[in-house]
């Protein structure tokens, strides 16, 4: 049995979907029994979160008890802040489980995980155990919270990784970024695996929609570059639909005044399927060093050609998506017009998504990781109850 361990964020996003999809994949395609032990930031009090960060986790005995009760052979851990921490993994190992630590972002070093500063610019100021820049910049938006994360990451990130039998990252670019940040990754490269996200839904056939609007599906935050998409679509004379919500919703609405831009707010499920069915091109204008680029692959799986910023993991879509320089309005405007008009682009996007992220492609790779952790020699326990 595989026990998924995850502390849910206050606002669900791409990582929650990735965790859900991996659990589904392990169950449906690998035939493994999968159960979950989750905590939730929406139900965690600020004092409890603070203590969890400073102590390296709360109630680790719960994890050990669940491993024994459910007879889990593997614990597949995802987000562990603020209340699971390294102590949860140590307890899982002590109870007899092997540990897969899945790093969906850069939070081993970066307090916000995105390596973007408060102004939305790419940032690698924090390095290794030196997390003071994140405190100085107040990257968490709250001085007390920024101090807690700076102290916790500096003190416990290496201890956290030491509890893992293998570490998983979503892309080669994510691994490169962690190394740039001086993250405490395992010295043995055999213990580090790259596993892309799986996409569950694919359209049966791609359709060319030369008159369809451009579509952005994104959190409305500075690092996502949505204003670049607004300006590019205005310049190209192409209508734009923006699906998502976030702190810049009002600012972006003002910027779009007079342009053919529709803001839908947050949408999911059938509503998002409908938006993608109508779109002629998908735009991913992010300024952030994305760890995977799930929005791009989901659009391609819907048969939509993608124009994206050539940064982070999006660089790995070279040849299957059109890549443009970050913040270049003119380049984005020209590229989206070409992609939208190309009758071959939708089918090519769909084929590329099937090659990259279909269950049939990702499931064998996940099986290899579970086989590697199950056959690997267990490490020595690194549990210091007084630490």
Give phi and psi for 287, each to the nearest 5: -100, -10
Q: Are 8 and 16 in contact (CB under 8 A)?
A: yes
Q: Are residues 245 and 140 in the same domain?
A: no
pLDDT in tens, 195-239: 999 999 999 999 999 999 999 999 998 889 999 999 999 999 999
Q: Are residues 224 and 171 in the same domain?
A: no
Percent of the chain with pLDDT over 90: 88
Q: Are 203 and 268 in contact (CB under 8 A)?
A: no
Rounded distance between C-alpha atoms, residue 241 and residue 302, angstroms: 16
Q: Report the mean per-residue pLDDT for the chain.
A: 94
Tokens, residue 239: 């209508």
Tell which residue, 53, 159, 24, has the closest CA to residue 101.
159
Q: Is residue 61 part of a domain?
A: yes
pLDDT beyond 70 at 54: yes
CB proximity list for 90: less than 8 A, separation 6 or greater: 60, 163, 381, 382, 383
Q: Are residues 138 and 226 in the same domain?
A: no
pLDDT at position 69: 96
pLDDT tier at 13 (50, 70, 90 boundaries)? confident
Q: Are residues 220 and 146 in the same domain?
A: no
pLDDT in tens, 247-279: 999 999 999 999 999 999 999 889 999 999 999
Tokens, residue 376: 């690997």
Tokens, residue 268: 């999911």
Q: Are residues 136 and 224 in the same domain?
A: no
pLDDT in tens, 273-300: 999 999 999 999 999 899 999 999 999 9
Q: Is residue 295 part of a domain?
A: yes
What is the residue range of 132's domain?
Answer: 2-198+360-375
- Selected residue with higher pLDDT from 11 and 78: 78
Q: Are residues 228 and 369 in the same domain?
A: no
Our count of domains for the chain comes to 2
Q: Is residue 47 part of a domain?
A: yes
pLDDT beyond 60 at 308: yes
Over residues 362-377, the mean pLDDT reads 89
Q: Are residues 365 and 318 in the same domain?
A: no
Tokens, residue 112: 């916000």
Predicted TM-score (pTM) of this structure = 0.91
Q: Is residue 139 part of a domain?
A: yes
pLDDT at position 385: 34
Q: Are residues 183 and 62 in the same domain?
A: yes
Q: Is residue 387 part of a domain?
A: no
Q: Are 2 and 33 in contact (CB under 8 A)?
A: yes
pLDDT at position 387: 37
Over residues 62-70, the mean pLDDT reads 97
Q: Is residue 11 part of a domain?
A: yes
For residue 226, give the CATH number of its domain: 3.40.50.2000
Q: Where do we find the tokens 């970024």?
A: 177
Q: Are 307 and 237 in contact (CB under 8 A)?
A: no
pLDDT at position 14: 79
Q: Is residue 58 part of a domain?
A: yes
Q: Are residues 235 and 308 in the same domain?
A: yes
Q: Are residues 258 and 316 in the same domain?
A: yes
Residue 100's SS3 state is strand
pLDDT at position 119: 85
Q: Where do we find the tokens 């039998």?
A: 165
Task: Kindly give the interhelix angle for 359-375 and 14-28, rounded to the nearest 10 degrees.
Answer: 80
Distance from CA of residue 132 to its chain's centroid?
24
Q: Are residues 229 and 367 in the same domain?
A: no
Tokens, residue 12: 């669900």
Q: Are residues 219 and 192 in the same domain?
A: no
pLDDT tier at 376 (50, 70, 90 boundaries)? low
Q: Is residue 71 part of a domain?
A: yes
Q: Are 15 and 78 in contact (CB under 8 A)?
A: yes
């Amino acid at each position: 049995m595989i026990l998924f361990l995850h502390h849910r964020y206050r606002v669900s996003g791409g990582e929650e979907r990735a965790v859900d999809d991996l659990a589904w994949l392990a169950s449906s395609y690998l035939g493994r029994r999968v159960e979950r032990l989750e905590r939730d930031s929406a139900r965690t009090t600020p004092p409890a979160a603070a203590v969890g960060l400073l102590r390296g986790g709360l109630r680790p005995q719960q994890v050990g008890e669940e491993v024994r009760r459910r007879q889990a052979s593997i614990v597949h851990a995802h987000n562990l802040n603020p209340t699971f921490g390294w102590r949860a993994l140590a307890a899982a190992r002590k109870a007899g489980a092997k540990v897969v630590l899945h790093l969906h972002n850069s939070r081993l070093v970066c307090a916000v995980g995105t390596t973007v500063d408060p102004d939305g610019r790419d940032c690698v100021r924090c390095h290794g155990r030196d997390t003071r820049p994140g405190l100085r910049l107040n990257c968490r938006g709250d001085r007390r919270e920024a101090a807690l994360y700076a102290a916790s990451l500096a003190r416990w990130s290496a201890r956290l990784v030491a509890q893992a039998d293998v570490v998983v990252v979503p892309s080669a670019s994510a691994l490169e970024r962690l190394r740039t940040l001086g993250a405490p990754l395992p010295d043995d490269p055999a213990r580090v695996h790259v596993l892309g996200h799986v996409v569950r839904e694919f359209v049966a056939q791609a359709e060319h929609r030369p008159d369809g609007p451009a579509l952005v599906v994104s959190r409305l935050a500075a690092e996502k570059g949505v204003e670049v998409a607004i300006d590019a679509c205005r310049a190209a004379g192409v209508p734009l639909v923006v699906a998502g919500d976030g702190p810049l919703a009002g600012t972006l609405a003002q910027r779009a005044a007079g342009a053919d831009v529709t803001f839908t707010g947050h949408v999911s499920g059938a509503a998002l399927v409908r938006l993608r069915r109508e779109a002629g091109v998908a735009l991913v204008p992010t300024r952030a060093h994305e760890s995977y680029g799930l929005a791009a692959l989901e659009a391609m799986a819907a048969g939509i050609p993608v124009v994206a910023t050539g940064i982070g993991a999006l660089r790995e879509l070279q040849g299957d998506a059109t890549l443009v320089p970050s913040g270049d309005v003119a380049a984005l405007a020209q590229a989206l017009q070409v992609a939208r008009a190309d009758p071959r682009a939708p089918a090519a996007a769909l084929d590329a998504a099937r090659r990259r992220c279909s269950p049939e492609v990702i499931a064998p790779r996940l099986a290899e990781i579970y086989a590697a952790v199950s056959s690997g020699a267990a490490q020595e326990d690194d549990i210091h109850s007084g630490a």
